[in-house]
Amino acid sequence: MIPEYIISFSTDDIPIEKVDCLIIGSGVAGLRASLELKGLNILIVNKESILDSCSYNAQGGVAVSLSPGDNPQLHLKDTLKAGCFLNNVESVKILVEQGPARIKELISWGAEFDKENNDFDWTIEAAHSAKRILHSHGDKTGKELVRALLKKFHETIGNKIAEGYFLIDLVAIENKICGAILFDKKKKKNILIYAKKIILASGGASQIYQETTNPFSITGDAQSAVLRKNGILSNMEFIQFHPTTLYLAGAPRFLISESVRGEGGILLDKQGNQFMEFYHPLKELAPRDIVSRAIIQHMKSTSSHCVYLDIRKLSSSFIKKRFPGIYKTCLQYGLDITKNLIPVRPSAHYVMGGIQTDISGRTSLLNLFACGECADAGVQGANRLASNSLLEGLVFGEIAGRTVREEIEKNIYNHEIQTSYLLKQKERLFIDCEDLRRSIKSLMWKNVGIERHGDLLKETIERLDNWTRYVFFKEFFDISGWEIQNMLILGKAITVSALRRQESRGAHYRIDFPQTNDVNWKKNQIITKTDLYPDK
């Protein structure tokens, strides 16, 4: 059984547009890619709005080796160590060597980073060996980067962003991508966009977990579309769980930035005792996977639902200036972080794996590129170094955009416009999508979360397959049904990859295989549609 979408339309009765390049996603990676395409007919689409992205919501900062005493080689070393040496060294070199130019460029476009005594206010985060984190307006770095890039986009490209367009599926002739089918949420109509090139920059997939920091819209739609077209994903077992997200009844799992611990925040249990020293010599500044597992294990040993982050030793004025967004959000829920402990627990945050690309952003499918969190260019390895994600979006977004431009100018796109779309037999069945969404998220959190075991992974695959049997091959008329299908595909991709990797490395921890096995598993894993749904 190979799942396919059922889409009821023909090209005779829906709007059709033709562009040189379609960019799906308007976070840092997509916006930076677009700036390389001046003069071409391009269109950026996003699922919700410009402000609904992980980039925009990024708090902590952006890592770049520009501070005194730092250099790209140190940044390279830290990134490889955090990634458990599963990174592509060439990709990481590109990141750390081109990163400074991308940040300087951004500053020249008007991006503002916080300063102290006429110099940048550099800070440190977990697993970094130097102060190399730039932040903006305290804890609003992502907002500032998106603001600066949007300003440059409108000056350079114009107003070519369409909000509220959901990616239903990619259109392909054999293995050549030639367009995309989108759902216009405002008009509630399908639209077909033909493109010489498509850049996917739509973010991760952490909404498949019950506890997550990601916006509600981040359901892995682009990654699922690539699998349906026989494309390749890689390293999907590596999901980073952020150690500290706000844990209050009725409040969203709001991220409490890594920088809070970088500035001196300590973790306490319900008895008020520090505990990280028992799990790692770096204590609160250990890599994220270690801190997350330590919190989970300590919660179990103390029969607790959460632990507490304490920043009360910092001055009230410093907290309000350095973390204004966190302070304001917590205060809305009756929590004054200048006086009170912050209840926290881990949540799914970032997918290290994704659509496999080369160093230029090319995927396994012709004419299709990917960058940012939805892609796996080999930068992050088994565990992302804190604050590398915004830098990756800038660096590899620029590279993908530049490569697309070069190929379009050389007429390298190798496809003709097709004039019809295969219709499939429709079948109707009522499905409570919200109930199924909750079930998928709960299952993934319980069985494929911070700690994993082979027996539970097998059980998860069986349950996902059972849901797939009656969810696929049905027609839906709003995005909830399509999202459920994408969540089932990505959930299975993550689970199958986790079951195969019989070791513990980085963000992937197997209770039944707790040791790292370099002999057999110091390698990347790929996953295809056939791996998930072999023909029977």
Q: What is the CATH number of the domain that holds 254?
A: 3.90.700.10
pLDDT at res. 423: 39
* Cβ–Cβ under 8 Å, residues 33 and 13: no
pLDDT at 252: 83
* pLDDT, tens only, 482-518: 999 999 999 999 999 999 999 999 999 999 999 999 9
Token pair listed for 84: 């458990």
Q: At what angle do helices 433-447 and 479-500 cross, to 10 degrees?
A: 20
- Answer for the pair 496, 353: CB distance below 8 angstroms, yes or no: no
Residue 205 forms part of a structural domain: no
d(CA 180, CA 196): 11
Name the average pLDDT for the chain. 91
The owner of tokens 């990634």 is 83
CA distances (Å), 97 to each of 191, 369, 376, 391, in order?
Answer: 40, 22, 19, 11
Catalytic one among 32, 132, 253, 288? 288
d(CA 179, CA 196): 8
Q: Which residue has the higher pLDDT, 249 or 346?
A: 346
Q: What is the pTM of this model?
A: 0.93
Q: What percent of the chain has pLDDT over 90?
A: 79
Residue 81's φ and ψ, nearest 5 degrees, are: -65, -45
Residue 152 lies in a domain: no
Decide if 204 is inside a domain: no
Lowest-confidence range among 19-28, 70-79, 243-252? 243-252
SS3 annotation, 383-404? CCCCCHHHHHHHHHHHHHHHHH
- Residue at 52: amino acid letter: D
**What band does 418 get if pLDDT is binned at 50, 70 and 90?**
low
Give DSSP secondary structure letters for 428-482: -----HHHHHHHHHHHHHHHBSSSB-HHHHHHHHHHHHHHHHHHTT---SSHHHH
288 is catalytic: yes
Assess if residue 275 is contained within a domain. yes
CATH number for position 465: 1.20.58.100
By residue range, what is the domain housing residue 485?
Answer: 433-532
Q: Using 50, 70 and 90 to split pLDDT, how confident is the model at 52?
A: confident
Give yes or no for residue 146 having a pLDDT over 90.
yes
> By 3-state DSSP, what share of the chain in percent is helix, strand and coil, each rounded to 5?
35, 20, 45
Sign of the CA dihedral running 211, 212, 218, 222? negative
| Confidence band for 346, pLDDT divided at 50, 70 and 90 | very high
Stretch among 52-66, 92-106, 443-457 having the lowest mean pLDDT: 52-66
Distance CA 184, CA 317 (A): 46
Question: What is the predicted pLDDT for the residue at 299?
Answer: 95
Tell me the mean pLDDT in the region 146-163. 94
Confidence of residue 174 (pLDDT cuts 50, 70, 90): confident
What is the DSSP secondary structure assignment for residue 212, as one 8-state letter?
B
| Last residue in a domain, options 296, 320, 348 | 348
**Ramachandran sector of residue 272 (left: φ over 0; alpha: ψ -120 to 50; beta: rest):** left
Nearest to 210, CA basis, from 436, 435, 441, 433: 441
CA distance 255 to 9: 41
For residues 193 and 411, the model is more confident at 193
Burial call 412-443: b when 16+ CB within 10 Å, e when fewer: ebebeeeeebeeeeeeeeeeebeebbeebbeb
Tell me: pLDDT of 91 over 90. Answer: yes
pLDDT at 381: 96
Binned at pLDDT 50, 70 and 90, residue 258 comes out as confident
Q: How confident is the model at residue 421 (pLDDT cuts 50, 70, 90)?
A: very low
Q: Is residue 396 part of a domain?
A: no
Distance CA 297, CA 145 (A): 36
| Secondary structure of residue 292 in the 3-state scheme | helix
Q: Which of 295, 319, 348 is the last residue of a domain?
A: 348
Looking at the domain assignment, is residue 88 inside a domain? no
Confidence of residue 5 (pLDDT cuts 50, 70, 90): low
DSSP 103-116: HHHHHHTT----EE
Residue 145 lies in a domain: no
Quick check: is 328 in a domain?
A: yes
Give the pLDDT band of residue 259 (cuts 50, 70, 90).
confident
> Which residue in the block uniquely carries the two structure tokens 């114009």?
158
Query: For residue 528, what pLDDT is reported?
Result: 96
Among 138-147, 173-182, 265-274, 469-478, the range scoring the smallest mean pLDDT is 469-478
Task: Pick the closest to residue 421 from 17, 5, 9, 22 (CA basis).
Answer: 9
**Residue 425 — pLDDT band, cuts 50, 70, 90?**
very low
Number of independent structural domains in the chain? 2
**Among residues 348, 383, 405, which one ends one of the domains?**
348
Task: State the average pLDDT over residues 173-184.
Answer: 90
